[in-house]
Structure 1
Amino acid sequence: LERISVVHFDHRLRGEESRKDALFVRSMAEKLELPFLLGSDDVLTHQKTQRVSLEMAARSCRHCFFQSCLAECGAQGIALGHTANDQAEEIFLRLFRGTGPSGLAGMAPRTPRGIIRPMLFLTRGEILAYLAARDISYREDASNLSNTFWRNVVRNRVIPVVEKEFYPAVVSTLCRTAQLAMDEESYWAQLMEQYWQTVQCQKTRTFISLRLHEFKNLHPALQRRLLRHAIALLKGDTYRIEAVHVEDALQLAIHSSSGRRRRLPGALHVLKEGHVLVISTESPDDAGDEPSEMVVPEPGIYRFGSVHLEFSLVEQPALDEMGEMGKSRECAFLDAGKISWPLTVRCWRAGDRFQPLGMKGSKKLQDYFVDARVPLRERRRIPLVCDREKICWIVGYRLDERVRITGETRTVLAVEKTGR
């Protein structure tokens, strides 16, 4: 028990009863000589400012506290008290809202964010019997008796009626269904990973884009899972993302014309751009926060928005040692003798042209972005390294032919990108 801490969160929703709950948990922790962490937040204010349901506001505040506890204690996980009954209630709710096969898996025994549920395979009755046999006192949240929330309606009315009038073993049956669904999802997750690398076009901190040509050739069941996977990667979870939302995004990807968009719960935006589907945490109308232009008078490290660019001059023989580095899209080597200082770093402008490395003629930058399937919102953020208003390098993408290294190159300009 030396490595266990006890945490309790007060939602400030039940006045004196909430305070007594916290005191009870603190007293229990003291008897067991365990560290105790108490958190609280104004859930009602959070609900109003975020414009979400009371249940969602409470969950958000609670889980935010849990994550802070993980960091403060250096713990590997937060153990919650969900039981088999809670699992059955969750599956009922998901069925009523509309869920796919993945939703039937219910609550996971362990999540990537450190949540574990060690009592998920015990019924509420078994736990109460254990406490009674050992004369262990406990407190029950009085709000559980109120049918204000749908979850309580399922707990207090729906399941008891099903147990009494239809099928007494409904809780264990639903939990068994959840376990089977978890096994199925484990297989699907392995299969999905194989296709993810094929359909993913680009991933940044704020968006993920998918190649629609490859995506459309897949089975709808796999398409839905890939969409949920993209959302989970971007958002951190799929909370509040229901089957209807995934289906809406799927219909947009398959049947809608370019430029159409949808908004999903959790401030997510889905936009179809030509042959690319973009899922983003920012509105497609956001202009971004990159500066319009930056002067680079000499070698050094410069910040351009959220990106750092390091400019350094090296003699050609050093290229042999940097061969592996040169294969990265985050680094480029230019013939310094063909470049005029000072350099500038700027964003895309209408009418920009360059000569892609390996090509004979010039090309509009807009056409290059279209051919490379770069989402419109991302084009405005890609830094362009230029000299005398001519593009030298589209950072992360393509060099201009005129600055390529040849056998006559004596000095090399290495440009490396770090950051978003």
Structure 2
Amino acid sequence: MSEEMVSLAGRFRSIFTLARENFLSDAPIVVATSGGLDSVALLHLFRFALPQSHQLHAAHFDHCSRDDSAADAQWVCGLCRAWGVPLTLGRAEEALGSEESARNARHAFLESVRSRVGAGVVAMAHHADDQAETVFFRMVRGSGKRGLSGMTEYREPGVWRPLLPFWRDEISDYVQKVCLEWREDPTNREQRFARNIIRNNVLPEIESKVAPAARRALVRLADLAREDEEAWLSLLNEMLDSLEVEEDKEAISLDFKRITPFHRAVRGRIIRELARRLGHQLDAAGTRLASDFVGSAQSGRQIDLTGGLCLRRDLDRLVLSPRTASVRDRPLQISNSRPGSGTALLGGRQVLVKWSPEKSLDLMSERLVLVSPHFPLTVRARRPGDRIRLAVGTRKLKKLFLEARIPEPERRQVPLLVDGLGSVLWIPGVAEATSRGDESESESVLHIGISDAKAS
């Protein structure tokens, strides 16, 4: 083996050693093997350039994208048999015509193989030229810095790209000088795929007429973007701690007053990270909407974002949550004073209501006595313009809820008792209207109790 090839194999061994110090365990390694030049080189390096301390397992996926694709699988079978490497074959149920569908199916297959054989990683043969093409493609589509950072050498749940520091020419020289054979995929020359156009036309034209080192510059751009991302992530947790972030399965909230002084770009990135924790992707438009909303939102306001999320301000908290399908309210009407019970559905919350002329509602969490009520009585949610008459005068319910520090989403769940004249008589736990009469001077008395239906 030439000095040049020994150098390439030596660099590969150094990459392997570094991986052992970081993420690589003693578990088996799955090597994605298409049969092309890059994957054959990768399998050869694992099989013959490293001490055999790890069990290898090859995996080949047939995308059924051309008539003779099954021949590739047969060829890979022969290669793995000759090299003593176990192999798992996979095949698409139908022809996969797009790059995205092929990639998704391939990754799902490789992950299934990794899980089945108990491997720690799937090693894939992406190299520096692939990185340059990826960054260029994302750049012309307007990706942010995270997108421009390109492919990472390792990512969860176990994808490893050990050839990423190597260029295609280096790998090609290695394959030829150690006398390896490989399969040529004719679809790599077809102009219907964007990556082929970038690889075979755009980048060669740029390097011949504009920037001779364009590929290397693109890889350097990825490195710089990744450094910036890593710098941001190193500060993120401390920043979130200062914002008093609280999270559960349904929502994440933070201190509104503490996030507003941040630069709008920083606000946007914080919210994008919180969206990621909720399992949602917030795009550039949604990020701008969120940041601008934080800069001007009054309590109670809400905005729908992209990615199925909504952002609202609840008093001193900023709340990010998935959008939920609205459930139509179902008010409850009480027609007369005969004893009865029923439920009302308000803002998705079900409340239990009981009423009787006799005092028999001691188990209800909230109770009220009405004298000579004007039927029908209705238990419903707040409506715009609702007011209640108190000893200090008539008050808007909106102001009462603010003073009681009830967040906006919960206000839609607070039951109101309204009489047949449209007057708000009672807001359980918040306020009771004046002038309800003296029960000792009237024979027409109604006792009403309200509780949360789940607690009753």
TM-score, scaled relative to structure 2: 0.56
User: Structure 1 residues 231 and 21, CA, compared in 2 at 3 Å: closer, same or farther?
Assistant: farther
Q: Is the 8 A contact 2:63 2:102 kept in 1?
A: yes
Alignment of 1:152-231 (within 5 A): 152-199=196-243, 201-205=245-249, 207-231=251-275
Task: Give the deviation of 1:195 after TM superposition.
Answer: 1.5
Identify the residue that residue 61 of structure 1 maps to in structure 2. 105
Q: Is the 8 A contact 2:150 2:222 kept in 1?
A: yes
Task: Give the deviation of 1:88 after TM superposition.
Answer: 0.8
Secondary structure at 1:5's aligned position in 2?
A: strand
Identify the residue that residue 80 of structure 2 maps to in structure 1. 29
Identity of aligned residues (%): 27
Task: Give the deviation of 1:93 after TM superposition.
Answer: 1.4
Q: Which has the larger radius of gyration?
A: 2
Q: Partners of 1:187 and 1:95 in 2: how far apart?
A: 21
Letter in structure 2 aligned against 1:125: D
Letter in structure 2 aligned against 1:261: D
Identify the residue that residue 133 of structure 1 maps to in structure 2. 177
Identify the residue that residue 337 of structure 1 maps to in structure 2. none
Secondary structure at 1:263's aligned position in 2?
A: coil
Identify the residue that residue 78 of structure 1 maps to in structure 2. 122
Task: Give the deviation of 1:341 after TM superposition.
Answer: 9.5
Task: Give the deviation of 1:106 after TM superposition.
Answer: 1.1
Q: Partners of 1:161 and 1:38 in 2: how far apart?
A: 38
What are the superposed Cα offsets for residues 180-214 of structure 1, whole Å, 9 maximum, x if unpaired? 22222222101111112344744344554455443
Identify the residue that residue 11 of structure 1 maps to in structure 2. 63
Secondary structure at 1:156's aligned position in 2?
A: helix
Secondary structure at 1:119's aligned position in 2?
A: coil
Identify the residue that residue 250 of structure 1 maps to in structure 2. 291
Residues matched between the structures, number: 304
Identify the residue that residue 263 of structure 1 maps to in structure 2. 306
Q: Is the 8 A contact 1:270 1:278 kept in 2?
A: yes
Letter in structure 2 aligned against 1:35: P
What are the superposed Cα offsets for residues 212-235 of structure 1, whole Å, 9 maximum, x if unpaired? 443332223322332332343333
Q: Is the 8 A contact 2:125 2:163 kept in 1?
A: yes
The root-mean-square deviation of aligned C-alpha atoms, in Å, is 4.0
Q: 108, 133, 137: which one pairs with 2:152?
A: 108
Q: Is the 8 A contact 1:273 1:376 kept in 2?
A: no
Unaligned runs of 5+ in 2: 1-51, 328-361, 366-378, 383-397, 415-448
Q: Partners of 1:146 and 1:61 in 2: how far apart?
A: 20
Secondary structure at 2:143's aligned position in 1?
A: coil
Letter in structure 1 aligned against 2:121: G
Work out whether 1:284 is the aligned partner of 2:328.
Answer: no
Letter in structure 1 aligned against 2:84: E
Alignment of 1:304-383 (within 5 A): 371=405
Q: Is the 8 A contact 1:110 1:116 kept in 2?
A: yes
Letter in structure 2 aligned against 1:22: A
Secondary structure at 1:108's aligned position in 2?
A: coil
Identify the residue that residue 312 of structure 2 maps to in structure 1. 272
Q: Is the 8 A contact 2:401 2:411 kept in 1?
A: no
Letter in structure 2 aligned against 1:141: D
Q: Is the 8 A contact 2:246 2:253 kept in 1?
A: yes
Identify the residue that residue 307 of structure 1 maps to in structure 2. none
Task: Give the deviation of 1:26 after TM superposition.
Answer: 2.7
Q: Is the 8 A contact 1:6 1:37 kept in 2?
A: yes
Q: Is the 8 A contact 1:252 1:261 kept in 2?
A: no
Q: Is the 8 A contact 2:297 2:313 kept in 1?
A: no
Task: Give the deviation of 1:389 after TM superposition.
Answer: 6.0
User: Relative to structure 2, which stretch is displaced further, 216-225 or 77-86?
Assistant: 216-225
Task: Give the deviation of 1:157 after TM superposition.
Answer: 1.5
Secondary structure at 2:88's aligned position in 1?
A: strand
Q: Partners of 1:377 and 1:123 in 2: how far apart?
A: 61
What are the superposed Cα offsets for residues 30-76 of structure 1, whole Å, 9 maximum, x if unpaired? 2222221223334668x9xxxxxx33333332222232222212221
Q: Partners of 1:37 and 1:200 in 2: how far apart?
A: 49
Q: Partners of 2:90 and 2:105 in 1: how far apart?
A: 9
Task: Give the deviation of 1:132 after TM superposition.
Answer: 0.9
User: Structure 1 residues 79 and 251, CA, compared in 2 at 3 Å: closer, same or farther?
Assistant: farther
Q: Partners of 2:95 and 2:405 in 1: how far apart?
A: 49
Letter in structure 2 aligned against 1:260: I
Secondary structure at 1:99's aligned position in 2?
A: coil
Identify the residue that residue 309 of structure 1 maps to in structure 2. none
Q: Is the 8 A contact 1:77 1:116 kept in 2?
A: yes
Q: Is the 8 A contact 1:80 1:116 kept in 2?
A: yes
Letter in structure 1 aligned against 2:182: Y
Secondary structure at 1:260's aligned position in 2?
A: strand
Unaligned runs of 5+ in 1: 48-53, 288-339, 344-348, 353-363, 381-387, 395-420
User: Structure 1 residues 245 and 172, CA, compared in 2 at 3 Å: closer, same or farther?
Assistant: farther
Secondary structure at 2:312's aligned position in 1?
A: strand
Q: Is the 8 A contact 1:284 1:377 kept in 2?
A: no
Q: Is the 8 A contact 1:278 1:375 kept in 2?
A: no
Identify the residue that residue 147 of structure 1 maps to in structure 2. 191
Q: Is the 8 A contact 2:285 2:306 kept in 1?
A: no
User: Structure 1 residues 69 and 126, CA, compared in 2 at 3 Å: closer, same or farther?
Assistant: same
Q: Is the 8 A contact 2:56 2:85 kept in 1?
A: yes
User: Structure 1 residues 372 and 15, CA, compared in 2 at 3 Å: closer, same or farther?
Assistant: farther
Q: Partners of 1:117 and 1:193 in 2: how far apart?
A: 28
Task: Give the deviation of 1:131 after TM superposition.
Answer: 0.6
User: Structure 1 residues 166 and 75, CA, compared in 2 at 3 Å: closer, same or farther?
Assistant: same
User: Structure 1 residues 194 and 166, CA, compared in 2 at 3 Å: closer, same or farther?
Assistant: same
User: Structure 1 residues 188 and 79, CA, compared in 2 at 3 Å: closer, same or farther?
Assistant: same
Q: Partners of 1:377 and 1:25 in 2: how far apart?
A: 64
